[in-house]
Structure 1
């Protein structure tokens, strides 16, 4: 056997190695694509309340609503569901600074309410919800999607920490930007500088995202190990329990009394939600979610019975530190505190995180290209993700405007993105392909804004 034959027998030929490297690169690109989608949608979701107002601008808005108006609206909604299975929960979103609307949601419907308690119109915010679902679960089944997104959060933390360790001078060179060159030094400098400037934000966002996503895993694990599979018992020490169920029929509860109690006894707390558990049953009870000023917690749960009798709080505002931390993770992740200035800051930091994700993969592909391991198709596919994803998001927004609330947004997003990715495999001019996607994004933004203005 010759030496060459011995090498081929013991190892792999060059074509096999090249194909294996391409497959490895494709897997890395897939992980990077998911990270980029999470960062991109998270940046946009910061303005979730504003998107709802844009999506349905004709909804009646108010700074506050009277307790008797809420009572009337709840009675009307429950009466409209006679003959249907009883809803397990009824939610009343009360006017807040970000979203000055009153909305009632049940298992069967969601409607906006006028200031006098009359039902104004159905809630139609399909695009906002589809965007939030994309960020939360990547449109996968809920539990699987949240676990995957939580793991991606862990990956971002690992990338941030390893990036700092891999560049000992990263803080010393925090404001050093070299000129752009063919060696990719300029792009790498921008990647590293953005990493330094946004490091606290990146770690905070990733950690809280991982907490939210992986809480499902933790919850099921604890339930199976210590609570005989009862997931509700796991969360009860933090968020309060549901209470004993009694499915015997009962009249509509007094929803106005808890609001009046809050006005009289907690005037500095702003109720944002009323949650009616097990409506029209003897076991029904009401929770008021109260916003506490100058606190990171999403709110405190104030407990009431069906007649409006007060039964204490869950302790999110003054309980154990771990309980308060758990209640603060959501607002800390999405920037739902401090009003519009904080949201703008989150959006800017989020854009920087998107840029780091995009440039990180571009730098990696560039290094391989300079080493003779060129991946032109993967490079075009990455351009399809970086520029195609926001373009497709804008196209689905336009589709929602034209086709209404029942537009197939999820199918359209993944179908159009798959089409762009497929096109990237066949085009030969990468620069023209990237430019075409950038033009598509710009045109989509112009058409989307024009459509919104015409709808006003």
Structure 2
């Protein structure tokens, strides 16, 4: 590589790293507790815990659960319902003043066997909520997500440019060499390069999937204007139904259509993921991969008949698959621990890069 090319790549690596370093450090630090959010929640007492009952205790009807939830907050309507992803003894219910409201919601955890509400601290308070919002959108909603997505893009640029520069730098050194007999800056430079190339693949995957995750709102908005619009086109211009069939009937209809899948959640008529005329029952697979993918089943809220169901398009699947890759939550505790170690190593890489720049100045 010519000296001019090296200088060019060095410039790209320096500025893409410097601009993104502070925010990448923030994301790595806040992401560390999020890897163990369930364990921390149990430790802090913020995780809902259903009372002990027989393992084969029957589940309550969905409508009974919703009746108990609405009784807790009169004057509200149901937007979403679904079984808890990690413990099917519980179910979540999202309430709001109107079905199409996008802010001001109230979420409840309900016992799926007794239909009784479970004690649970507010979802929008506490340490883990702060970590989550800082990691996802900096408390700035969609603009914050898109900004962090751009920082993720700069991280990818820094990784690629770092790889390009690593080969000529290490031409006269053995792989993994740390020159301990040199000045501190030289030792930190070697450690920075060693950890950087060691965590290369992980950092690229987590950075890329994190960037994709910041587009979630836009991806699903596009899906709503694309496939969802096609699925509900026959109902365009019709008034909302005068009455609705029981929600359990809609859930049973979706299960009968896709017997090899399980219900993930139900979007109620008028909510952002449905139409004024339908229950949108989102089903998931029963394998580690397909459990991350969703397929909506639209059920006419007035008749209880299935009107349409289509797998998500490629861009929706790409988004849903990227989420577990980003948080490492598909392989149990061993993968969580590996993700944590790689996260800590990345913090060292980012911190050492900042230190090297300051010392050089």
TM-score (ref. length: structure 2) = 0.74
Conservation of the 8 A alpha-carbon contact between 1:65 and 1:95: no
Q: State the structure with more CA Rg.
A: 1
The within-5 A match list for 1:9-408 is 31-55=20-44, 56-57=46-47, 59-60=49-50, 68-84=60-76, 87=77, 90-97=79-86, 101-107=90-96, 108-114=105-111, 115-125=113-123, 126-127=125-126, 128-140=128-140, 142-168=141-167, 173-179=174-180, 181-214=182-215, 232-233=221-222, 235-237=224-226, 243=232, 244=235, 248=240, 250-251=242-243, 253-260=245-252, 266=258, 268-278=260-270, 283-295=277-289, 298-305=292-299, 306=301, 308-316=304-312, 321-368=314-361
RMSD value, Cα: 3.7
Conservation of the 8 A alpha-carbon contact between 1:276 and 1:285: yes
CA distance in 2 between counterparts of 1:288 and 1:61 reads: 28
> CA-to-partner distance for each residue in 1:163-207, whole Å, 9 max, x for gaps?
111221559844323327533222222211111111111111111
> CA-to-partner distance for each residue in 1:350-404, whole Å, 9 max, x for gaps?
2222221111101211222xxxxxxxxxxxxxxxxxxxxxxxxxxxxxxxxxxxx
CA distance in 2 between counterparts of 1:247 and 1:123 reads: 39
CA distance in 1 between counterparts of 2:309 and 2:71 reads: 30
How has the CA–CA distance of structure 1 residues 148 and 233 changed in structure 2, closer, same or farther, with 3 Å as cutoff? closer
Unaligned runs of 5+ in 1: 1-24, 220-230, 369-456
Unaligned runs of 5+ in 2: 1-13, 97-104
Bigger relative contact order, structure 1 or 2, given CA contacts below 8 A and separation 6+? 2
Conservation of the 8 A alpha-carbon contact between 2:59 and 2:114: no
Deviating runs (4+, > 6 A) in structure 1?
27-30, 61-65, 238-242
Cross-structure match for 2:3: none
TM-score (ref. length: structure 1) = 0.60
Aligned residues: 323
How has the CA–CA distance of structure 1 residues 268 and 53 changed in structure 2, closer, same or farther, with 3 Å as cutoff? farther
Conservation of the 8 A alpha-carbon contact between 1:113 and 1:119: yes
Conservation of the 8 A alpha-carbon contact between 1:67 and 1:256: no
The structural deviation recorded for 1:43 is 2.8
